[in-house]
A and B are shown apart, each in its own frame.
Chain A
């Protein structure tokens, strides 16, 4: 039994490494073929205001990356693309791990991960100046941590990770709220099905919320100004309902 488990784990490690390498290779070739910047990428790198009469929302995550790049003397475009290439590749591995966490067989998990690795949009956002690669990676990390926390004795540790990842996902794309909402619903449903005590559910929820708050606080400390935050929160409403920039 123990030998089978070891063999499975070894297989998982090899598959995760292989899938990540495969995904990274695809993304790097795609980047080499067409290192185009997207329309939104122009806005992110120029810190908004590139169009005279339109203000577009800026993700704090990209603002921080741009500042870091400037401090290190690296072109912001290069740093963001490098981070996205890694994040997009790790997302594939994360999908595999989530599938395994859901007790799927290895080949079914590998197919799910391969699907993500060759998804054209997934490849695009992984080698362009976009936020989606990091957003999706950390959404997947949140999900993985929740699944891992279910039966683990290190529940607090997993929830801590989930909170931090949720905060990063939120600061990459505000849509992470939707994901956390759906996830929350699923977990409440699970608790309801399992007839878990309300107190246990509340404890877990409070732990996660606390760690999410700590994550927000840590990101806040990365010198994001209130005006940048305000622009981030109000930006979507401004763009889609008031200005309609396309």
Chain B
């Protein structure tokens, strides 16, 4: 019944309604003839019925227009009818009644439209913006994220948060409204690590949680990021952390020792256990140069206070010579002048190894002030020539002060690239628990 009423209400203000008004105006041209006026009324009724059926058929009607606007519109419809009858049949209508209907209808419609326009949606825009920013912060730090759409709220929040596409430009929003929502949710859970939904409080949120309980195994952690209000419809941002079901032993490590600021990490290959070995700074610079990199602004190179290269737990002299990755904080290289206030790390690959892998995986454990994040991208080189940034891969966000695991995939460099670098820009206060960077063979 409610749907039928909504369909009718929607119909009254359907654009076809305006066309129907135009049709009536057109047909009033015939008003000297009773038969044509009758035709005009039937035509109008036909358009209304068509519109009504269209809406009911596709069930796209919704409560969008206040009753306050529908009632005066109905009054005006009666007025129009009287106008048609009077014009066509040359009868003697009750002029006083007709005038009152006109005045009441116009006044009511103006008031109704005013209520609709100036009150009902106030605040929703700013809530969407706020929720979008929060969604962005939550997702850009996530590994392999997806946005699940449970209503039009969700897609708009994702739009304002620029979270509709991933770093590769592919859509990462999944619609749970149509089709088989449970099946879709299962499919999304199977293929993504972090899901986020802007869902309305009440039935919509309950349905999503119930579907999660039904299809997820094990049940992922559901974090409620914040609540939002607008148009009397509070909605909430839910972060569904699906990583535990997909990743081995990368639970948050609260006891992981933070690295000192300015230190450099990493380097391990093929899931080797990470450990740290101090290396002479000058030795590292020497190795950089030996790889053929020329520093355009060599004087501005910042040598790290500590450099740690990790490979199979111990850095032997022989390993140093064959080291495949370097990690180095500094201000050299393209792009640094844009981010000069940030700490930058570059992971650099040596020659001859670039195309052995189908793609590369960067895995991080980070914690820090909420809002702080790492911006990561891949730079490519041909010999000493910088070819440009192949991809801005995405961001790792620190959501809480706990270590959280994030994972990002980078496609292999293009064929004419024989070297590439992974640039990481640290924004805000962050601590790294661990970083892994490895290649996935063909």
Point out residues on A near B: beta carbons under 8 Å: 26, 29-30, 33-39, 42, 45-46, 49-54, 91, 95, 98-99, 102-104, 108, 111-112, 114-116, 118-123, 125, 132, 135-136, 139-140, 143, 147, 175, 179, 182, 186, 189-190, 193, 240, 243-246
Contacts and interface: CB of A to CB of B under 8 A. Distances in A.
State the main secondary structure of chain B at its contact with A: helix
Interface stretch (B172-180, B285-293, B367-375): B172-180
Interface of B: 13-19, 21-23, 25-30, 33, 36, 39, 43, 47, 58-60, 64-66, 69, 76, 83, 102, 106, 109-110, 112-113, 116-118, 121-122, 124-125, 128, 149, 152, 155-156, 159-160, 164-165, 170-175, 177-179, 184
Contact of B106 (A34, A111, A240): A111
A97 B180 CA distance: 50
Contacts of B173: 50-52
Nearest to B79: A111
A75 to B, nearest CB: 13
Nearest to B14: A121
28 contacts: A33-B121, A34-B124, A38-B156, A42-B155, A50-B164, A50-B173, A51-B155, A52-B174, A53-B184, A95-B22, A98-B25, A102-B26, A103-B29, A111-B106, A115-B21, A119-B13, A120-B65, A120-B112, A121-B13, A121-B15, A122-B18, A193-B30, A240-B58, A243-B178, A245-B175, A245-B177, A245-B178, A246-B178
Contact of B159 (A30, A42, A121): A42
B262 to A, nearest CB: 40
Given A33-B118, A34-B124, A42-B164, A118 B14 contact: no
Given A95-B25, A98-B26, A121-B13, 7 more contacts: A26-B117, A34-B117, A36-B125, A53-B174, A53-B184, A118-B110, A244-B179
Contact of B28 (A37, A102, A121): A102
B128 A36 contact: yes
A123 to B, nearest CB: 6
Most buried by B among A103, A120, A189, A245: A120
Listed from nearest, the 8 A-B pairs whose CB atoms lie closest are A39-B152, A34-B121, A121-B13, A118-B113, A120-B116, A52-B171, A42-B159, A30-B117
A186 B175 contact: no
Contact of A49 (B16, B18, B69, B171): B171
Nearest to B149: A51
